[in-house]
A and B are shown apart, each in its own frame.
Chain A
Amino acid sequence: MADAYDVIVLGGGVNGAGVARDCAMRGLRVLLLEKADFGVGASGNSSGMIHGGIRYMLSDRSVTALACRDSGYIQRIAPHLLFRIPFLMPFASRKEGATLVERATWYATEVYVGTYDLFQPLKRGKPSTRLSAEELYVLEPGLRRGLAGVVTLDEWGIDAFRLCTLNALDAAARGADVRTWTEARELLREGGRVRGVRFRDVLTGEEGEARAPVVFNATGAWSPALARRNGARVPMRPGKGVHLTLDRRFSNYGVICAAVDGRQMFLMPHERESIIGTTDDDYYGDPDDLEATNDEIEYLFEGAASLVPGVRDARITRAWCGVRTTLFEYGANEDALSREHQLHDGAADGLAGLLSFVGGKLASYRAQAEEATDRILELLGRPHGTCRTHEVPLPGGDEVPDPALLAKDGLVAAPVAARLVYRHGSRAREVLRLVADDPRLGLVLCRDEGILAAEVVHCARHEKVRRLQDLRRRCRVGLGACAGVDCARIAAQLAGRELGWDADRIRAELADLLDQGWRERRAVLDGAQLAQEELVRGATGLLEVPW
């Protein structure tokens, strides 16, 4: 039987989706299987930064260079999806009794950041500057008193869920078969070679087989389990990373702060919110069963409050986490682990043709995918061809329309147009055409997140939405500070109409959406957020009446 595919990619995170796109662009027949939705693992739950990896400059200068160069490319292919986040790295005051060591640290930091400046042009970053205490408090009056100054550092933020989605959608547009909510159950093998996978659609229960000479395993934290099930090994150090979302922006700039144990962490503005990140601890639990613990929340919150005391008044709206995969090393603590990546060949375990991806960074995903695609072509015995993922725009990335001009037609207000352009780039025009055809789709479901009814319809039609919770990742349905009180039901109705859901299915999808949010909120219920939770439960109390 002839193989239907050249390569089967497992995992719809940024690496799987990126590889699927590159392979499809280089003419391979691709099947992408994702057991849930795009970016649900480490990719979407990362800090959402296309940063240059200054942290890795001392240990892995090549990681920094790669990340910076690729950050520049990502700006080229998805200009709408990136936004600048300048970071401030503060210095403590001399008055607090600076020791020689501390002074040496300041000096070292300046050299460090100065070196990073050499990489900045690669990603259209601005060079660092040193600001005095006076200048600092003008920019960020909310920082704790007594700082001597800061060095600035220019980075970029991104919507990581959409980055994964756009790569997968582009792969599909170039002929790849892309299936979400479809789990690879078992690898098919023949005489020491992998020959394909047996899969199961977790929503319909449909099972099937697909054959290909190469299987690319980009299942991240799920890799070891997948490999083990098939008698292979993928060595890695899985690390849990937790972030907190605060209900509003607490600073104009990202700020680097020190946690109670001295680890570097940050507080940064991200869209309408602030994000505090991140923890990094070995995690050998079930990656499907991941929740932030009380310790982790306290650790992050206190770390941020030590530099920005105002966050004590914040409402923590979510605590979310992912498991990053780092290269295996014995004896190193988590921070010191390399962010390099590795392609692990299954031939040694009698699974030739199985290529597993370990490690890597969101910011370097494109370069990682290029390298992986080269390897896949080698395994197939084909020439590399030309990789063009650094210059061909992702869907909607060909142009960034001016939101003010889009709003001129009067279909939507400018702030909503801005959010639409941020998420959809030039495809915002397609969304607005839906409003022109049917004015009721001009309804703004969430004024906070700028979610338009037409956007929900557009995503349901064109962005491989199969469950309501997928809309969390496409256009932030149910993700804001109100946890979906305003948007969830109407979004479910609109999506249901597109996807043929009946009343029972709509209620089941809403319940599932609430479950997703509950997992991220139950450990942070305090103050106004606790009242909000009571409101959410009251507002949806009629949804699932058990009697």
Chain B
Amino acid sequence: MAKQIDHKAALDVQLVAASQAGDMIAFEELVARHRDKIYARAFSMMRNEEEAIDLAQEAWVKAWQRLKQFQGDSSFATWMTRIVINLCLDQLRRQKRTRAESIEQLDEELGGVERQMPVVATNPSEGLERSELRKRIDKAMNQLSYEHRTVLILHEFEEMEYKQIAKVMNCSIGTVMSRLFYARRRLASLLQSLKKEQQS
């Protein structure tokens, strides 16, 4: 018989072990603990509340089905985040196949646009409150294409290396570097514009 645990007080590893043994209450506790983070990652990639909720839900269902495969090599939160990232990438690829790319997006994909951007000479985040900086970053991220936004999220927020990003995005390391470079340059430019807007 499975060992009884105090679900509220249990560590993630204990809840995972209980869930792997079929304890749905333990799994519910894991969902409750990490649902905001998983949803936030889905939203940051999809930029759509409804889609983010659906994908977050799908991620939890997948997690339950694959729970036996979780060996504890990373934290449960990291493992869950990888699941939702993969679901988001699949969804974005499906969407990309069905929508026409704008000329601007094609330019971004081909590269070269970033070289035309003047270098930002003052720190665009200097003197900003953290909440204000977060708002601006979010606004700027919204204006990036999904490829550039995703590569930034994976590198800066998920702390993935170039080769790991190339693997999950199914592209070369060179493409990852190129996208990351463009994304950073564009983000710097957007943050500077937002700063100028506020000053004027």
Q: Do A and B bind each other?
A: no
